[in-house]
Amino acid sequence: LPAVTKALAQWVFSHPYNIKRPEVTKYLQPFQLSPETLQEVSARLRKDLLRGLGKHSHHKAPVKMLPTFVRATPDGTEKGDFLALDLGGTNFRVLHVRVEEEAQKVQICAIPQEMMLGTGEQLFDHIATCLGDFLESHNLKGQTLPLGFTFSFPCEQLEIDKSILIRWTKGFNCSGVEGKDVVQLLKEAIHRRGDYHIGSVAMVNDTVGTMMSCGYKDQSCEIGMIIGTGTNACYMEEIKNVKRIEGKDGRMCINTEWGGFGDDGCLDDILTEFDVEVDKTSINPGVHIFEKMISGMYLGEIVRLVLVKMTKDKLLFKGQISEALGTPGRFETKFISEIEDGLENAKKILTELGLDWDLVDASVVRLVCDTISSRSAYLCAAALATLVNRIRNNRKLGHLKTTVGVDGTVYRKHPTFSSKLQKAVRLLAPQCDITFLVSEDGSGTGAAMVTAVAYFCASILIQWMV
Catalytic residues: 170, 206
Residue with Cβ nearer ligand BGC (204 or 372): 204
Stretch of 112-120, 200-208, 389-397, 447-455 lying at the interface with ligand BGC (CB under 6 A): 200-208
Residue with Cβ nearer ligand BGC (88 or 405): 88
**Rounded distance between C-alpha atoms, residue 256 and residue 235, angstroms:** 8
* φ/ψ (deg, to 5) at 155: -130, 140
Binding string to ligand BGC for residues 46 to 85, with x set by CB under 6 A, is what? ----------------------------------------
Residue with Cβ nearer ligand BGC (156 or 238): 156
Residue with Cβ nearer ligand BGC (125 or 291): 291
153 in contact with ligand BGC (CB under 6 A): yes
Q: Nearest approach, Cβ of 168 to ligand BGC (angstroms)?
A: 9
Produce one character per residue of 373-388: b if its CB has 16 or more CB atoms within 10 Å, e if not: bbbbbbbbbbbbbbbb
Q: Nearest approach, Cβ of 306 to ligand BGC (angstroms)?
A: 23
291 in contact with ligand BGC (CB under 6 A): yes
Query: Which pairing describes strands 251-255 and 66-67: parallel, antiparallel, or unpaired?
Result: antiparallel
Residue with Cβ nearer ligand BGC (94 or 427): 94
Residue from 279, 157, 295, 287 nearest 232 by CA = 295
Q: Nearest approach, Cβ of 356 to ligand BGC (angstroms)?
A: 37
Residue from 409, 432, 390 nearest 206 by CA = 409
**Rounded distance between C-alpha atoms, residue 204 and residue 153, angstroms:** 10
Stretch of 228-236, 328-336, 369-377, 425-433 lying at the interface with ligand BGC (CB under 6 A): 228-236
154 in contact with ligand BGC (CB under 6 A): yes
Q: How many residues bind ligand BGC (CB under 6 A)?
A: 18
List Cα–Cα distances, 210 to 54, 150, 436, in angstroms: 26, 10, 12
Stretch of 68-76, 196-204, 226-234, 324-332 lying at the interface with ligand BGC (CB under 6 A): 226-234
Q: Nearest approach, Cβ of 418 to ligand BGC (angstroms)?
A: 17
Tell the burial category of 142 from Cβ atoms under 10 Å away from its Cβ (0-12, 13-18, 19+): exposed
Member of 213, 232, 256, 374 binding ligand BGC (CB under 6 A)? 232
Residue with Cβ nearer ligand BGC (177 or 400): 177
Residue with Cβ nearer ligand BGC (35 or 209): 209
Q: Which of residues 83-112 bind ligand BGC (CB under 6 A)?
A: 88-89
Q: Nearest approach, Cβ of 15 to ligand BGC (angstroms)?
A: 27
Member of 62, 259, 300, 446 binding ligand BGC (CB under 6 A)? 259
226 in contact with ligand BGC (CB under 6 A): yes
Member of 52, 67, 230, 262 binding ligand BGC (CB under 6 A)? 230
353, 330 Cβ separation under 8 angstroms: yes
Residue from 64, 176, 93, 50 nearest 450 by CA = 93
Cα of 27 vs its chain's centroid, Å: 27
Member of 157, 207, 213, 337 binding ligand BGC (CB under 6 A)? 207
Q: Which of residues 315-334 bind ligand BGC (CB under 6 A)?
A: none
372 in contact with ligand BGC (CB under 6 A): no
Member of 170, 251, 292, 304 binding ligand BGC (CB under 6 A)? 170
152 in contact with ligand BGC (CB under 6 A): yes
224 in contact with ligand BGC (CB under 6 A): no
Stretch of 121-129, 150-158, 393-401, 432-440 lying at the interface with ligand BGC (CB under 6 A): 150-158
Member of 42, 68, 205, 337 binding ligand BGC (CB under 6 A)? 205
Q: Nearest approach, Cβ of 343 to ligand BGC (angstroms)?
A: 32
168 in contact with ligand BGC (CB under 6 A): no
Query: Residue numbers of the site for ligand BGC (CB under 6 A)?
Result: 88-89, 152-154, 169-170, 205-207, 226, 228, 230-232, 257, 259, 291
